[in-house]
Amino acid sequence: MNFREFKQAGHWPTLLAAFLYFDVAFMVWVVLGPLSLYITQELGLPIQEKFHLVAIPILFGALLRIPLGMLADHIGPKRAGQMGQIVVALGLAYAWVFGLKSKFEVEILGVILGFAGASFAVALPQASRWYPPKFQGVVLGIAGAGNMGVVLDMIIVPWLAESLGWQAVFGFLLIPIVAVFVFYSIAAKDAPDPRKPVTLANYGAVLRDVDTWWFMFFYSITFGGFVGLGNALPLYFTNWYHTSGITAGMMVAIVVFAGSMFRPLGGMIADRVGGIRSLQVLFLVVAGAYFLVSMLPQGPKPAADAIGAATVAGWGLTQLPGIAWVAVGVFFVGAMALGMGNGAVFQLVPLRFRGEIGVMTGLVGAAGGIGGFFLAKALGWSRATTGDFAPGFWIFACLAMFGLVGLAAVKTRWRTTWGAASGAQV
């Protein structure tokens, strides 16, 4: 890729602002993942309800992407993004000042955090519209790499919860939220291309195209896997390997780092060799990772004198049994493939639906969030029903294999029709 040409092709301040907006929004969106260890312990909730609570922000982040994407097409991505950030900031401020005293209040906060997850439907189209087709993979990879905010969550949130209490974490998160809101308001600009206001009829028309459903399915596997694991793994590691809250956060940070940092690479590789070929390899890796991790045995419990006095106590990072590190390694490889798969899917989407990118970003992003919701729910159901997490992982390994079947079904048609007309690798 010619970086000088890339820099001159679009508007890099908007690309940076979109990246930061999505980064901080994603960090806030998944904050209930690590915080659930502390909130649900205080509320005394059983394991299945713990996974239910971490799944709620994922679900509403998915459902809100469509209306927020429509709003962005009507009033402009910048104003829609500003409104979404204000709603999230108000929700965090309430939780910081008043706390969360019941399961219902946590669920309501989860709904509000969905506005942070819906930022996907604003940030990605806002960046995409500034750049020509040949740079779509890398642009959407960069903007989408904002999901590295979950890495910061996993490192910082458990430590803050142990040191200051979980309620103070919401106040801490207001600092980057406000800072990014100011920068975004100054730096971001809407592309000069005229917007076409989107209606429900537009969504209906796109949904009648079978390619839309294929993209939604593929993204429910890649992004759904990434965000589902990001929210569910803190509970998984503390429950299956008996780690402390801080240790679980560090383990998850290692895993999600792979998914975040490799997303732009996935877009770049897809630009070079084609998104279909990339996804075929990546789905195989994802399925293998899920199947392998489902076979790993439960880790031993630490002795009472080794637990320490932490609020969420368990094995420390340097005390972890070897099997826990094996799990981290398998999840790392799987998350790397999921992240690259996110970039590969969004190399293809703008080539097929250039004129409907706002609609498609909302629909495909929503499908990704719904996939993450069901992954978290499946793991909670699996553990509560069978005493093991394996059936939950089997379900999503099979979905990745179905993804391979889907690619085989569409690749010839895609490459000989809109793929050939796009002038890009498909």
**Residue-level pLDDT, tens digit, the chain, 426 residues:** 556 666 666 677 888 888 889 889 988 998 999 999 999 999 999 999 999 999 999 999 988 988 888 888 788 889 999 999 999 999 999 999 999 999 999 999 999 999 998 887 788 778 877 777 767 667 766 766 666 677 888 899 999 999 999 999 999 999 999 999 999 999 988 877 766 677 788 888 899 999 999 999 999 999 999 989 989 999 999 999 999 999 999 999 999 988 888 887 888 898 888 899 999 999 999 999 999 999 999 999 987 766 667 788 899 988 999 999 999 999 999 999 999 999 899 889 988 887 787 778 778 888 998 999 999 999 999 999 999 999 999 999 999 999 999 999 999 999 989 888 877 788
Phi, psi of 243 (to 5 degrees): -90, 165
pLDDT, residue 414, reads 92
> How far is it, in rounded angstroms, from Cα 332 to Cα 282?
13
User: Measuring CA to CA, which residue among 381, 337, 352 is closest to residue 49?
Assistant: 381
- Geometric angle at alpha carbon 364, from 362 and 366, rounded to 5°: 65
> How far is it, in rounded angstroms, from Cα 290 to Cα 286?
6
pLDDT, residue 265, reads 85
Report the Cα–Cα distance between both ends of the chain, in Å, rounded.
17
SS3 for 303? Answer: coil
User: What are the CA-CA distances from residue 270 to residues 70, 134, 263, 320, 345 (Å)?
Assistant: 28, 11, 11, 37, 9
Joined tokens for residue 158: 């458990």
Residue type at position 257: F
pLDDT, residue 18, reads 86
pLDDT, residue 253, reads 93
Q: What is the largest CA-CA distance in the chain?
A: 67
Per domain, the residue ranges of the chain are: 10-188+195-422
| Residues 21, 123 contacting (CB under 8 angstroms) | yes
> How far is it, in rounded angstroms, from Cα 96 to Cα 28?
13
Joined tokens for residue 273: 């060799």
Q: Distance between alpha carbon 33 and the CA centroid of its chain, in Å? A: 12
pLDDT, residue 13, reads 84
SS3 for 315? Answer: strand
CA torsion, ordered 402, 403, 406, 410, to nearest 10 deg: -170
> How far is it, in rounded angstroms, from Cα 312 to Cα 41?
8
> How far is it, in rounded angstroms, from Cα 277 to Cα 136?
17
Q: Distance between alpha carbon 17 and the CA centroid of its chain, in Å? A: 18
> How far is it, in rounded angstroms, from Cα 123 to Cα 115?
12
For residue 321, how many other CB atoms are within 10 A of its CB? Answer: 14
> How far is it, in rounded angstroms, from Cα 224 to Cα 220?
5
| Residues 34, 252 contacting (CB under 8 angstroms) | yes
User: Measuring CA to CA, which residue among 167, 168, 122, 111 is closest to residue 20?
Assistant: 122
Q: Which residues pair with 379 in a beta bridge?
A: none
| Residues 254, 404 contacting (CB under 8 angstroms) | no
User: Measuring CA to CA, which residue among 248, 246, 228 is closest to residue 237?
Assistant: 248
> How far is it, in rounded angstroms, from Cα 259 to Cα 141?
11
User: What are the CA-CA distances from residue 22 to residues 17, 87, 171, 323 (Å)?
Assistant: 8, 15, 19, 34
Residue written as token pair 């932490």: 310
Select 10-188+195-422's CATH number: 1.20.1250.20, 2.60.40.1260, 1.10.1740.10, 3.40.630.40: 1.20.1250.20
150 burial type by CB count under 10 A (0-12 exposed, 13-18 middle, 19+ buried): buried
